[in-house]
Structure 1
Amino acid sequence: MLYTLYEAGYYATTPMRFAARLTREFWNSPLNPAAETDVGRRLFAGADLFANLTRRYGKPAWGIDSVEIEGQPVRVRTTEVWSSPWVKLTHFTRDMADMRKAGRRELEPAVLIVAPLSGHYATLLRGTVQAFLQDHEVFITEWSNARDVPVMEGRFDFHDYIDHIRQMLRQLGPRPHVVAVCQPGPPVLAAVSLMAEDGEECRPATMTFMGSPIDARLSPTVTNKLAEEKPFAWFQSNMVYTVPGPYPGAGRRVYPGFVQLASFMSMNLEKHQEAHRRYLQHLMDGDGDSAEAHLAFYDEYLSVLDLSEEFYLQTVDVVFQRYLLPKGELVHRGRLVRPDLITDVGLLTVEGENDDISGIGQTQAAHDLCSGLPAELKEDYVQPKVGHYGVFNGKRFRGEIYPRVRAFVRRAEAGFDKQRRAA
């Protein structure tokens, strides 16, 4: 019912939204002699804010047409290399002629960036992709919006997620590198554990976990405490709704993106209110650059997708309530998941000092679980003065975190090159 009411509310505000857009265009027109008056700017700002707050936010474009490598612009295009109804594996293909101009003539390491399936689109990792493109062949998971997947395509749960990670790693060839950002940590570690146990040729050479709830019992945050305090039945009854028509997934039970977004925003409500007050003031002052920066952030932040009921509820149960992976009790398709059997996959964990979603220690827990790894294949780093999003985006990520990840991957590549020459 909530989903239907949400849709009804959107359509009910359509006349007001349309009027606001007309008002915005009128008071922003260069042909309007009163546009630059104080009253004109105020009317424009109010109409613009209302139109933006009530409009739809679809999947953002990547907008990565080129990347600078060694001072040389290199053209980039996206290519779909594998897909299922639930995910698209996207390759950011760099132009080889431009790469040669930049002095890069050899094939660079393949990296699979596993984007979180927790409400936002993979484009939230735009900055992450741009950094890795400087030195790697970059692939990323673009998870589907569950409301767009027809019911006839079947279910998608936590264990399907693990299977999908294994399948996508195989697409990259022998010994790729995998980077799990936030939510994917536990299923990615499970996938790598199974691949290592099976001796798969395409098991990763390194795995990097960034702000991931490997063991959500440690340094619990508000999110963790909510999962602990509420019984599982509460999440079933209060967080899952049926997709209405005319969406392709009509009839599917989902955890709606707008519910997730409301939860996130309520955690820092005053911060978001102040941001919109500043945006309104920027418009009235004619500060276009600051207003554009605000819009760019919220165009991404307010773009959300739905999760399938079974994936969402199993994640709550497995990761945040029963802690099956760190307790050594996670069973996948009848097999016990054993990270201790990983012996030749480099492990790097990255955390933020001020992370209020995955507290310090939750990601580091991977080191204890991967007890079969020698010390020289392990590395841990805590970035000072950053929160959750600063772990994989922003100035400190580009200047301090990414160089460490790059160096870690290069060391692993050098070690494998030495092994291949010896063989």
Structure 2
Amino acid sequence: MFYQFYEMNHAALQPARAYADAVRMLYSNPLNPLSHTTWGRSVAAMAELFERTTRRYGKPAFGLHETVVEGRSVPVQERIVWSRPFCNLIHFERAVPAGRRSDPKLLIVAPMSGHYATLLRGTVEAMLPHAEVHITDWTDARMVPLSEGRFDLDDYIDYVIDMLHALGPDTHVMAVCQPSVPVLAAVALMEARGDALAPATMTLMGGPIDTRRNPTAVNLLAEEKDIGWFRDNVIMQAPWPAPGFGRDVYPGFLQLSGFMSMNLDRHIIAHKDFFMHLVKHDGDSAEKHREFYDEYLAVMDLTAEFYLQTVETVFIRHDLPQGRMKHRGTLVDPAAIRNTALFTVEGENDDISGLGQTEAAQGLCSGIPADRKAHYVQPAVGHYGVFNGSRFRAQIVPRIVDFMADHGRTRGRAKPSRSAGAA
């Protein structure tokens, strides 16, 4: 019922939001003489701040309509090339000149952790000049009818394997944050089976491979509670009239509340600064605030079974680094990976996935030759800076592109060992 009350509160505030929006338009209209005064701009700013902090933010659009390839601007079109009830695979199709050499195929696996895949808009934009980019567009669980069945961590791994099969040989995979564990598991399972469509390279960025290393506040919370606490306190039923009405979900607004509370002072200051930018008529700074929070405050629900299985497997029991993670009864053995090259990336100031948590994959993937593994720590960035921002574009992207180029050529694949085949 808590989720239903949350929805009712949103609905109850709708008249106040409409009134605030009308006030904003009145006091920001240039035909109104008061809009040119500090008092008028203050009224408009207060009205906009109220409306923005009480609205429900819808799913944003990627809005990537062009990119630059070899110095030429080319149009980009989104196309769904694979679809399942809980995910669509989007290809950002570039209109490159006919006859031009093919760029590598890149599968970006976006986090299923409360935000939409558009949180990686900057990641996609930065990689478009260098690759045929595909991204997982996960579906809000409250929008999936109960008739479509369950979706858990095992299903997530199956989806990744199916997408790699759909994209074909010599595909590169990039996992940002949460999907680092299921992507590593998927590649390990593919290599253990001798699957010829295992990716050429695997890039893991800011992911919780081993959260025992340098644990953050998020990790410590999970270790303090048992899985029963999470089941009793954060799992709710999707409310009416959502298509997924009755589905057990982990609501996105709870995840958002947790993230914001970690840096509450920063968010309060940001909104205070936004108000002052509006009063001072600093349109550029105000627009940057809108763009960031339009994305950050747009959240989606996760299925309860996926959330609980992930919390228990990754954050409470640490199954992968302890060598006991299973996928539908089959042991996941990262040492079975022998052909896929591995690149891990971390941020020096990451407060979500601490330093060393992603690097742990290097030791787990002992079957990969040393000359096909690399690790990079980006100085002076937090979690978000690992996959977005100026330092990401200038210092991380070139390293990923070079790593893909060095290890992405079609090679004769080593035969799986007996132990890998048995796994």
TM-score for both structures, normalised by structure 2:
0.96
CA contact (8 A) 1:330 1:337 kept: yes
Counterpart CA distance in 1 for 2:408 and 2:63 is 30
What is the CA deviation profile of residues 307-341 of structure 1, one whole-angstrom value per residue up to 9, with x for unaligned ones?
A: 00000000000000001111110111121111101
Counterpart CA distance in 2 for 1:413 and 1:44 is 54
Alignment of 1:305-324 (within 5 A): 305-324=300-319
Counterpart CA distance in 1 for 2:195 and 2:74 is 34
Alignment of 1:120-269 (within 5 A): 120-269=115-264
Match 2:375 to one of 368, 380, 383: 380
What is the CA deviation profile of residues 77-97 of structure 1, one whole-angstrom value per residue up to 9, with x for unaligned ones?
A: 000000100000000000033
In the other structure, the counterpart of 1:10 is: 10
What is the CA deviation profile of residues 123-177 of structure 1, one whole-angstrom value per residue up to 9, with x for unaligned ones?
A: 0001110111111010000000000000111000010000000000111111210
In the other structure, the counterpart of 1:109 is: 104
Counterpart CA distance in 2 for 1:156 and 1:147 is 12
CA contact (8 A) 1:214 1:326 kept: yes
Amino acid corresponding to residue 244 of structure 2 in structure 1:
G
Q: What is the SS of the residue equivalent to 1:220?
A: coil
Q: What is the SS of the residue equivalent to 1:265?
A: helix
Alignment of 1:31-110 (within 5 A): 31-97=31-97, 105-110=100-105
Amino acid corresponding to residue 312 of structure 2 in structure 1:
D
Counterpart CA distance in 1 for 2:37 and 2:359 is 56
Amino acid corresponding to residue 141 of structure 2 in structure 1:
A
CA contact (8 A) 1:147 1:248 kept: yes
CA contact (8 A) 1:76 1:93 kept: yes
Q: What is the deviation of 1:199?
A: 1.2
Q: What is the deviation of 1:217?
A: 0.8
Q: What is the deviation of 1:69?
A: 2.1
Amino acid corresponding to residue 291 of structure 1 in structure 2:
A
Q: What is the deviation of 1:70?
A: 2.6
Counterpart CA distance in 1 for 2:172 and 2:285 is 38
In the other structure, the counterpart of 1:290 is: 285
CA contact (8 A) 1:175 1:201 kept: no
Counterpart CA distance in 2 for 1:30 and 1:5 is 40
In the other structure, the counterpart of 1:369 is: 364
Counterpart CA distance in 2 for 1:83 and 1:157 is 17
Q: What is the SS of the residue equivalent to 1:134?
A: coil
TM-score for both structures, normalised by structure 1:
0.96
Q: What is the SS of the residue equivalent to 1:396?
A: helix
CA contact (8 A) 1:146 1:249 kept: yes
Q: What is the SS of the residue equivalent to 1:138?
A: strand
What is the CA deviation profile of residues 213-249 of structure 1, one whole-angstrom value per residue up to 9, with x for unaligned ones?
A: 0111111000000000112111011111111111000
Counterpart CA distance in 1 for 2:392 and 2:31 is 45
Q: What is the SS of the residue equivalent to 1:382?
A: strand
Amino acid corresponding to residue 237 of structure 1 in structure 2:
D
Q: What is the SS of the residue equivalent to 2:284?
A: helix
Q: What is the deviation of 1:38?
A: 1.5
In the other structure, the counterpart of 1:347 is: 342
CA contact (8 A) 2:208 2:314 kept: yes
Gaps of 5+ in 2: 414-423
Match 2:298 to one of 303, 308, 312: 303
Counterpart CA distance in 2 for 1:238 and 1:413 is 45
Counterpart CA distance in 2 for 1:336 and 1:48 is 53
Counterpart CA distance in 2 for 1:216 and 1:175 is 31
Q: What is the deviation of 1:53?
A: 0.9
Amino acid corresponding to residue 46 of structure 1 in structure 2:
M
Counterpart CA distance in 2 for 1:123 and 1:347 is 25
Counterpart CA distance in 1 for 2:224 and 2:140 is 28
Counterpart CA distance in 2 for 1:38 and 1:132 is 43
Q: Moved runs in structure 1, 4+ residues, more than 6 A?
A: none
Counterpart CA distance in 1 for 2:296 and 2:116 is 9
Q: What is the deviation of 1:198?
A: 1.0
What is the CA deviation profile of residues 88-133 of structure 1, one whole-angstrom value per residue up to 9, with x for unaligned ones?
A: 0000000033xx6xxx801111000000000000000011101111
Counterpart CA distance in 1 for 2:260 and 2:59 is 19
Q: What is the deviation of 1:71?
A: 2.3
Amino acid corresponding to residue 296 of structure 1 in structure 2:
E
Counterpart CA distance in 2 for 1:214 and 1:293 is 33
Amino acid corresponding to residue 155 of structure 1 in structure 2:
R
Counterpart CA distance in 1 for 2:325 and 2:56 is 39
Counterpart CA distance in 1 for 2:13 and 2:114 is 24
Amino acid corresponding to residue 276 of structure 1 in structure 2:
H
Q: Percent identity, aligned pairs only?
A: 55
What is the CA deviation profile of residues 17-49 of structure 1, one whole-angstrom value per residue up to 9, with x for unaligned ones?
A: 111011011101122122111211110000011
Matched, 1:357 2:372: no
Q: What is the SS of the residue equivalent to 2:377?
A: strand
Counterpart CA distance in 2 for 1:291 and 1:135 is 32
Amino acid corresponding to residue 229 of structure 1 in structure 2:
E
In the other structure, the counterpart of 1:403 is: 398
Q: What is the deviation of 1:390?
A: 0.3
CA contact (8 A) 2:170 2:408 kept: no
CA contact (8 A) 2:172 2:408 kept: no
Counterpart CA distance in 2 for 1:38 and 1:382 is 46
Between the two proteins, the alignment pairs up a number of residues equal to 413
